[in-house]
Amino acid sequence: MKWIAKYFNLILVIVLFTSCSSDDSNTIDEEKPTISINYAEGFPQACEQLLKGETYIFKAQVADNKVVASYSLDLHHNFDHHTHDDQGETCDLESLKGAVNPFIYMENFEIEGGLTTYEINISITIPDDIDTGDYHCSYSVTDETGWQSRTSVDIKIID
């Protein structure tokens, strides 16, 4: 019986020592990903005017210190003159108005392959039958640990 107790205690000590590790390879990701449209091909730039019926390629550059996991694009009206906390330049806005048939685009996309950088590239045709006026273009990016960054710009949709 004493042999079983000694054997059990020995196994317990071995398990405790092998389960505890000083390996710091699992560092906590404390960096948010980055997102930018401020480069030559980035689109749209602040105060850009988009024509109804035309097709545009929306582009932004995203990066992370580990892995970028997903991104989204959100186009919505700004007829009430709201702002976003990450919004940079403010453009001249039209008068306040109510929405009748506003353009709304909201899509989420996955980024496969464990990449640290990625260029968003989305083709969108602006419908002919929507309200013209002030809109926001908002991009967001999320890394594999859940950190998120976003950027927004004012744009106009015109006839």
Whether 63 is covered by a domain: the verdict is yes
Give residue-wise pLDDT tens across range 93-132. 999 999 999 999 999 999 999 999 999 999 999 999 999 9
Rounded Cα distance between 131 and 133, Å, is: 7
Q: What is the mean pLDDT of residues 28-46?
A: 95
Please state the domain count of the chain. Answer: 1
CATH for 87: 2.60.40.2550
Q: Of 144, 42, 33, 147, whose CA–CA distance to 88 is shortest?
A: 42
Which residue range is the domain that position 97 belongs to? Answer: 31-158
Whether 68 is covered by a domain: the verdict is yes
pTM: 0.80
Rounded Cα distance between 8 and 2, Å, is: 10
Whether 124 is covered by a domain: the verdict is yes
pLDDT of residue 83: 84
Whether 145 is covered by a domain: the verdict is yes
